[in-house]
Structure 1
């Protein structure tokens, strides 16, 4: 369900510090969670209810559970796969084709554990759903259409050390087959949109060029729910800057050449303009119109001005105001202010369009 100018966030909403230790988001030992085991499920659900409530109170058209019931958007899905050794992680230096990450004390612990990669030790198969229980809760409690996020295979491969397949394409295709089964299971629960989170389409562009369309084609086999691919610059929390990358338009072109229904692009903090949108083909386009690298809350008029310019390239039927990537680390008051500005700015444009 992608109605004209549908407002939404990328996926995560502000995660309370009483729920998790933010510096441990990449830990593999469960030490992210603060609540004791006997109250953890209740705490997760309370945080999800808070995220749903605030998105609906702000007036977003499509809502998520804020990813409150998972630690991280990517490794959350490893527990549902066979062929992965979670206990014997291998440290690998993170090498990106787009280097935007800070190297300072603030994020030292995050980055140290980000480089600990579980191993692929055998054939990858989907065993059970990682997100179905969370989605059931979201559908039961949301009063608006919902979106569910799954990690993309190229990004998940980037978080693993391959000791089985021997080449990136074969490993990524195996992951795509497993994630497709996850998506088919989630589709039965009735989400309006399924989003594939694929920052590696940007960070590992050479692989996306080589077999990105093939991966996306495998991912959506048998699906009828609209599928969006999100490709970003990484979290603002550990981004020194997000200067517009001259190759980012290629990411849009790769997604545009695939059978998915749309793409989600980081737009505000990098300072992209309508020129980027000329590379999106006939797909639905979600563009970030609030900057998560700043605690300053945008005005509705700022959002409206940026949106009007984008409408010169993409018609309202295929354009959807969104946030930039990942709000989990923001103070809740800031996160709420930003999504409220997104809604109010979009309303200004809708009123103008009639």
Structure 2
């Protein structure tokens, strides 16, 4: 792994806005505006731009900004056999909104790498540590209609094996941290504890890199913000799953804090893990001040050791404008620097 010795290294949780020449901005599942070879070149150009903006903002652990994919779950699934995108069914995703999804019609498998060439391209562009996001097994299951296995657990185990294959090749391509996105972990608590974390352990089996799980309250889209309004004055979902997650082999837990009602003391339940603390609200167009970010980090430091705290965003920023996302990245970096200086006594 690329050496990461900096205190409070900053990172993003996932997606960053796409340039308007590549896809319709501020929208999930946005259609590509290019095709064939032009699309491939356009994706690589967008990846370069996304990387540059992270570097300009001072982000320490960089990513592809998910520039080469339309969606954090379905783009991976598109490359698998056993899933038919022409056979669609309407299902309730995350137990809160209806969506038309593809169907699992046979045994799922991965015939070829999905993101490995993109990861190699990113690795060629920078010597910084890079993080790559993959959908987690449970969240993949929750984004499909299963006609074949007719068992969420069985399908999740198959996806875990497939993800493990992809992850091992990503490590060979030079990825330093592999993150599994599991927003479903904040909803299906019994399943998470019964088999969800076990499937995640299968997905990270034998990986020679740092591993992370990202558990948030979702993109800043209406279905998610409406759901948050029903959760009351305290969001204690993490309390249901953190004790078992703390005992798992996952290295890093990425969670949501900024402008949320998550009691900060819940982080104590994963003491010993590295924690990517979401200090940027992706559901708001208001750009945080560096001091607001710093305050969130100070609160988190009561429950996580400084050498294990990674300032981060709450979730992906694809639905935001590039200007707002840029401002938020700058605030994240500057806020982390404030606290870093406080911890080291460097006030120059």
Q: TM-score, normalised by structure 1?
A: 0.89
Q: State the match for 1:176 in structure 2.
A: 160
Q: 1:49 is paired with a residue of what secondary structure?
A: helix
1:9-29 superposed Cα distances (whole Å, 9 cap, x missing partner): 001112223221358744xxx
Q: State the match for 2:150 in structure 1.
A: 166
Q: Which runs of 5+ in 1 are unaligned?
A: 102-110
Offset at residue 147 of structure 1 (A): 0.6
Q: 1:93 is paired with a residue of what secondary structure?
A: strand
Q: State the match for 1:14 in structure 2.
A: 17
Check whether the contact 1:231–1:251 (CA below 8 A) recurs between aligned residues.
no
Cα distance in 2 for partners of 1:302, 1:183 equals: 35
Check whether the contact 1:229–1:255 (CA below 8 A) recurs between aligned residues.
no
Q: State the match for 1:94 in structure 2.
A: 93
| Structure 1 pair 316–48 and aligned structure 2 pair: CA distance change class (3 A) | same
The reply to whether residue 83 of structure 1 matches residue 68 of structure 2 is no
The reply to whether residue 259 of structure 1 matches residue 265 of structure 2 is no
Cα distance in 2 for partners of 1:198, 1:156 equals: 9
Q: State the match for 1:61 in structure 2.
A: 60
The reply to whether residue 118 of structure 1 matches residue 102 of structure 2 is yes
Which sits farther off after the overlay, 49-58 or 35-44? Answer: 35-44
Number of matched pairs: 335
Which sits farther off after the overlay, 245-254 or 40-49? Answer: 245-254
Check whether the contact 2:187–2:237 (CA below 8 A) recurs between aligned residues.
no
Q: State the match for 1:107 in structure 2.
A: none
Q: State the match for 2:221 in structure 1.
A: 237
Check whether the contact 1:195–1:228 (CA below 8 A) recurs between aligned residues.
yes
Q: 2:103 is paired with a residue of what secondary structure?
A: strand
Q: 1:341 is paired with a residue of what secondary structure?
A: helix
Check whether the contact 2:131–2:178 (CA below 8 A) recurs between aligned residues.
yes
Q: State the match for 2:182 in structure 1.
A: 198
1:69-97 superposed Cα distances (whole Å, 9 cap, x missing partner): 1110101111332221222122223361x
> Which residues in structure 2 correspond to 1:184-223 (within 5 Å)?
184-223=168-207
Q: State the match for 1:328 in structure 2.
A: 318
Q: State the match for 1:313 in structure 2.
A: 303
Root-mean-square deviation (Å): 1.9
Offset at residue 318 of structure 1 (A): 0.9
Q: State the match for 1:296 in structure 2.
A: 286
Which sits farther off after the overlay, 159-168 or 34-43? Answer: 34-43
Check whether the contact 1:269–1:292 (CA below 8 A) recurs between aligned residues.
no
Offset at residue 257 of structure 1 (A): 2.4
Q: TM-score, normalised by structure 2?
A: 0.91
Offset at residue 37 of structure 1 (A): 3.2
Q: 1:177 is paired with a residue of what secondary structure?
A: helix
